[in-house]
Amino acid sequence: MAFAEWKAESSSSSQYLIEDNQIRQSFGRIIGQIANRHWWTITELEAKFSRVIGAPPWCPDSWLIDPLKVACILRLADASHIDARRAPSFLRALRKLPISSDQHWKFQEKLQKPYLSDDAIVYTSGYAFPLQDAEAWWLCLETLRMVDRELREVDSLLAEKGLHRFAARRVAGIDNPERFDSYVHTDGWRPVNAYIQVSDVPSLIRHLGGEELYGNDKKVAIRELIQNASDAIRARRIVENRPKDWGTICVTKGKDERSDWLEIQDNGIGMSPQVLTQYLLDFGKSYWGSDLMIEEFPGLLASGLDQTGKFGIGFLSIFMLGSAVRIAT
């Protein structure tokens, strides 16, 4: 976008987002990379922006540009910019917002300007949240916990790399709903820390991902894996505009010195590290239709992909067949 050129019909001169030609040529590319990777993980940012850039010819020799630090600053500035300045009450009254957006607007319009206390950003409310606004209060807490995660991850990265750390490293009061109530007040109701917890994950998987759900038919596990492979192939057909009969699934059974083994292989879209860690092994969380799928394969959802897997639990049925699984992608 930094190098995109626009011309008005009545003018022969070109228009750019960055008007200064020297700045555009020197920094346009890195600006675009930072903007495009705004919501990458901290690890991905570190890998992409690992090198410091030297000064352009028209700057003092002692100047250096650290893309990683710039990316971190912009990341935190965007995440932490949450208060009434971003959600004016009058503008909310004029606009017809969908319910999800209205909840965000509702809690932000009640927040005062944040301030720094020691190493924490402190958010406070000018108004209390009545019971009918309880959902907005919980959304406020969830959002500020996201800000807290961003601050802590960036601080950890800067500390590990020996870089100057930012003054703000966390958000105050978000560790517990009762404590957060002393910063962002409720009126007529009391928030309590009541989250669903699963203490025995293996037992849950056995009950919902194995015989309790599917019975004793071991072929179910094979069917689930083949369905996953089919979804991956159908997605690749769309992404690469391939024929409807393209794609291969190979099921192989064998035996080695350790045990019997079963292998199911396909040539579908494969899985990124994010899919492996955030979806495949997250019980009940499906990749298909997720924000990550939209980011990795823009247009795939709108293309009419009809995937078989919907609930994010089928893969775990593989443990009906054995106790060891190896995944290559």
Q: What distance in Å separates the CA atoms of residue 82 and residue 84, rounded to the nearest whole number?
A: 7
Alpha helix positions (H), 182-297: 201-209, 211-214, 219-239, 273-275, 291-296
Average pLDDT estimate for 299-313: 72
Same domain for 287 and 264 = yes
Q: Of the candidates 33, 100, 111, which has an alpha carbon nearest to the alpha carbon of residue 65?
A: 33
Average pLDDT estimate for 297-305: 82
Residue 232 lies in a domain: yes
Most confident of 53-62, 84-93, 198-207, 271-280: 53-62
Residue 328 lies in a domain: no
Q: What distance in Å separates the CA atoms of residue 236 and residue 296, rounded to the nearest whole number?
A: 12
Helix H or strand E encompassing 138: helix 134-160
Same domain for 173 and 208 = no
Same domain for 180 and 132 = yes
Helix H or strand E encompassing 317: none
Q: Of the candidates 17, 53, 48, which has an alpha carbon nearest to the alpha carbon of residue 33?
A: 48
Choose one of 25, 53, 79: the last residue of a domain: 79
Same domain for 166 and 90 = yes
Residue 130 lies in a domain: yes
Q: What distance in Å separates the CA atoms of residue 121 and residue 149, rounded to the nearest whole number?
A: 12
Residue 33 lies in a domain: yes
Q: Distance of CA 79 to CAs 75, 148, 280, Å?
A: 6, 9, 27
Q: Which residue has the higher pLDDT, 278 or 262?
A: 262
Residue 329 lies in a domain: no
Q: pLDDT per residue over 14-27, tens digit each? A: 888 888 888 888 88
Average pLDDT estimate for 208-226: 74
Average pLDDT estimate for 107-136: 93
Same domain for 314 and 209 = yes
Residue 325 lies in a domain: no
- The overall longest dimension of the chain from CA atoms, in Å, is 78
Q: What are phi and psi of 253, to 5 degrees?
A: -120, 140
Same domain for 237 and 144 = no
Exposure b/e, 77-95, CB count within 10 A at least 16 = b:
eebbebbbeebeeeebeee
Q: pLDDT per residue over 60-114, tens digit each? A: 989 999 999 999 999 899 889 998 888 887 887 888 878 778 888 889 999 999 9
Choose one of 187, 222, 254: the last residue of a domain: 187
Q: Are 58 and 27 in contact (CB under 8 A)?
A: no
The pTM (predicted TM-score) of the whole model is 0.63
Query: What confidence score (pLDDT) does residue 117 get?
Result: 95
pLDDT range class, residue 256, cuts 50, 70, 90:
confident
Domain that holds residue 40: 6-79
Q: Are 315 and 228 in contact (CB under 8 A)?
A: yes
Same domain for 135 and 74 = no
Number of domains in the chain: 3
Residue 31 lies in a domain: yes
- For residue 65, give the 3-state DSSP assignment: strand
Q: Distance of CA 115 to CAs 124, 147, 317, Å?
A: 9, 14, 50
Strand residues in the chain grouped as ranges (E): 6-7, 14-15, 53-54, 64-65, 115-117, 120-122, 129-130, 170-171, 186-187, 249-255, 260-266
Same domain for 92 and 164 = yes
Choose one of 142, 159, 187: the last residue of a domain: 187
Q: Of the candidates 20, 33, 108, 105, which has an alpha carbon nearest to the alpha carbon of residue 71?
A: 33
Q: Which residue has the higher pLDDT, 268 or 92?
A: 268
Same domain for 316 and 237 = yes
Most confident of 46-50, 96-100, 201-205, 278-282: 46-50
Average pLDDT estimate for 216-239: 88
Mean pLDDT of the chain: 86
Average pLDDT estimate for 215-233: 85
Q: Which residue has the higher pLDDT, 251 or 213?
A: 251
Q: Which residue has the higher pLDDT, 151 or 42?
A: 151
Residue 193 lies in a domain: no
Please tell me the total number of residues recorded for the chain in this structure: 329
pLDDT range class, residue 149, cuts 50, 70, 90:
very high
Same domain for 311 and 214 = yes
Same domain for 172 and 238 = no
How many C-beta atoms surround the C-beta of residue 158 within 10 A?
17
**In the predicted structure, residue 283 carries a pLDDT above the cut 80:** no
Same domain for 30 and 135 = no
